[in-house]
Amino acid sequence: MRRAHTVEQVRAAEADLMARLPEGTLMQRAATGLAVAISNFLGSTYGARVVLLIGSGDNGGDALYAGARLARRGAQVTAVLLSSKVHELGLQALKTSGGRVGSTDDIPTADLVVDGIVGIGGRPGLRPDALAAVQLAEQYDVPIVAVDTPSGVDVDTGETPEPHVNAALTVTFGTHKICHFIDPAATACGPVHLVDIGLDLPPAAVESLQAADIRNLYPVPHGESDKYSRGVLGLMVGSTQYPGAAVIAASGALGGPVGMVRYVGPDTVAEAVRAAHPEIVAGNGRVQAWAIGSGLGDELDIPLIRELLDAEEPVVLDADGLKALDDAGDHVDVLATPHAGELARLLDVDRATVEAERLKYARLAAERFDVTILLKGATTVIASPDGQVRVNLNATPWLATAGAGDVLAGLCGSLLAGGLSPLDAGSVGAYLHAAAANLASSSGPITAMSVAAALPEATRYLLRG
Ligand SMILES: NC(=O)C1=CN([C@@H]2O[C@H](COP(=O)(O)OP(=O)(O)OC[C@H]3O[C@@H](n4cnc5c(N)ncnc54)[C@H](O)[C@@H]3O)[C@@H](O)[C@H]2O)[C@@H](O)CC1
Ligand SMILES: [K+]
């Protein structure tokens, strides 16, 4: 599990630890980890030209001490001071180690720029001189390594209302921060490298499941399992208008842990589903969970869907089915899987607003509709009505393809029928969906059906460990 904490949580943990350690220990731990990560990024440190952008706080201090270490290993390190007040001891260390104070003129010929402008003490946005320095690096294609967080992003929300650094690598300390997990800021971080500085942290604000977590949560059948005890999923998806959605969602469901899938819908669609998947049973019957909504088009029966939402069995509610959601019922067993546009419609705001404030609106919808919200995107946010938030970070951009959402709905339904909670079904589903996409794609185009077809192998690979 990767965990992200709020600035307040990090500051409290840091204060606790600092009280027990000699002054400056934490910064030295951070700076050492930062210098190692920068060396690895550069490949060769000797002779490398490194420009440090230094703001007024400890974030600049980290950068200055790391710069001193790099200078001692033969790098040509220049500090651009963006504030009249900088970390004095850090600056002295840099100078003693052979680094110097320079200007933005050093940026165009640099191999690397280090962003020590602001970290967790920063407000969104960059001041004009910092912005000019960052733009110069971008103009000359000089990669930027961000210290702790890319300066300018909103650390606790992942929002980027103002100009900010777009990093090629972010090196963070102690724990992840929310901006490392939530888009659009997560994208601005690039890959994130975590340096352990020994913080003792409370439960995280946002979590991201990793392979070992998927292994622990996946409902693996045992000796006494039969097709019913493994779970039966009811699919109410696809329509005469969109028969393909039913075939694709069924493929996603069969790629999950479920023992049996029933299809409920128009005869012609049922025929298409059975032609593609002879193991699927058409018609009503007992199920342990439903996946409802993908490709229903105009054929959706809102009163019937509301009945199913109010019934005992958990439901994945996708696409057109989301229109049946209202804030009246008790829907804690529901996993709703909107993309930003659908969530915007549910909440009566603009799509761009949801895209800009993904964490806020996922949480808001989970609370308002009393459902678990899985907000799809390059990074998927899963928010449960009790306030827990998870993020899936392993997707490939190739997954943005027609029908991929239908696969996810079928897969999540399968996981719900297998006994997972909506939060676990959503987070395990998003992870496996992305893992299958990576496997099917290996950096090339994919179709939704090829993602579904790769689910068993991606799952096998994960379960084997
Ligand atoms: N908290 C921790 O556990 C640790 C923190 N360390 C470093 O310390 C950093 C936090 O240091 P600080 O608290 O000094 O804060 P920062 O260095 O993040 O920011 C310093 C100051 O910049 C000013 N500022 C705010 N927004 C700005 C903006 N948009 N543009 C320009 N200036 C702005 C503010 O006056 C703020 O107090 C962390 O991000 C990390 O890099 C590490 O040394 C190790 C441990
Ligand atoms: K920074």
Contact between residue 65 and residue 31 where contact means Cβ atoms under 8 Å apart: yes
The gap between the terminal CA atoms of the chain, to the nearest Å, is 15
Cα torsion 230, 234, 237, 240 to 10°: value is 120
The residue ranges of the chain whose pLDDT is under 70 are none
What is the per-residue pLDDT across 409-448, written as a single tens digit (0 to 9) for each? 999 999 999 999 999 999 999 999 999 999 999 999 999 9
Tell me which residue has its CA closest to atom 36 in ligand 1. Answer: 121
Q: Tell which one of 5, 65, 118, 179 to mutate to probe ligand 1, the residue whose CB is within 8 A of the most ligand atoms.
A: 118
Cα torsion 277, 280, 282, 285 to 10°: value is -170
Quote the pLDDT of residue 326: 87
Quote the pLDDT of residue 161: 98
Tell me which residue has its CA closest to atom 25 in ligand 1. Answer: 122
Does 211-464 match 2-208 at the fold level?
A: no
Which structure tokens are listed for 210? Answer: 């990793």
Question: Which numbered atom of ligand 1 lies nearest the CA of 31?
Answer: 43
What is the per-residue pLDDT across 342-387, written as a single tens digit (0 to 9) for each? 999 999 999 999 999 999 999 999 999 999 999 999 999 999 999 9
Domain residue ranges in the chain: 2-208, 211-464
Q: How many residues does the chain have?
A: 465
Nearest listed ligand to the Cα of residue 188: 2
Q: Which residues of 256-290 are buried (b: 16+ CB within 10 A; e: fewer)?
A: bbbbbbbbbbeeebbebbbebbeebebeeeebbbb
Surrounding residues of ion ligand 2, Cβ less than 5 A: 115, 119, 146-147, 151
Ligand 1 is surrounded, with C-beta below 6 A, by: 10-11, 14, 26-27, 30, 55-60, 62, 118-123, 125, 127, 147-148, 173-174, 197
Quote the pLDDT of residue 229: 83
Quote the pLDDT of residue 322: 97
211-464 carries CATH number 3.40.1190.20: yes
Distance CA 454, CA 348 (A): 37
- Helix axis angle for 448-464 and 243-254, nearest 10°, is 10
Q: How far is the CA of 149 from the centre of ligand 2 (A)?
A: 5
Burial (CB count within 10 angstroms: exposed 0-12, middle 13-18, buried 19+), residue 146: buried
Contact between residue 328 and residue 355 where contact means Cβ atoms under 8 Å apart: no
Quote the pLDDT of residue 321: 96
Q: What is the DSSP letter of 127?
A: -
Identify the CATH number of the domain defined by range 2-208.
Answer: 3.40.50.10260
Rg (CA), the chain: 25
Return the sign of the alpha-carbon dihedral for residues 6, 389, 192, 174. Answer: positive
Which structure tokens are listed for 247? Answer: 């075939």
ipTM: 0.97
